[in-house]
Amino acid sequence: EPEVTQTPSHQVTQMGQEVILRCVPISNHLYFYWYRQILGQKVEFLVSFYNNEISEKSEIFDDQFSVERPDGSNFTLKIRSTKLEDSAMYFCASSYTGTTNEKLFFGSGTQLSVL
Partner 1 sequence: AQKITQTQPGMFVQEKEAVTLDCTYDTSDPSYGLFWYKQPSSGEMIFLIYQGSYDQQNATEGRYSLNFQKARKSANLVISASQLGDSAMYFCAMRASNTGNQFYFGTGTSLTVIP
Residues that bind partner 1 (CB under 8 A): 33, 35, 41-45, 48, 55-56, 89, 91, 93, 98-109, 111
Name the minimum Å distance from CB 58 to partner 1. 8
What is the length of the chain? 115
Q: Is the peptide bond before 25 cis (omega within 30 degrees of 0)?
A: no
CA distance 38 to 43: 8
Query: Taking the complex as a whole, how short is the minimal distance between the CB of residue 78 and partner 1, in angstroms?
Result: 21
User: Based on CB atoms, which residue is closest to partner 1, 20 or 38?
Assistant: 38
CB neighbour burial string for 32-41, b if at least 16 within 10 angstroms, e if fewer: bbbbbeeeee
CB of 7 vs partner 1, minimal distance in Å: 14
CB count in 10 Å sphere of residue 4:
22
Nearest approach in angstroms of CB 64 to partner 1 is 21
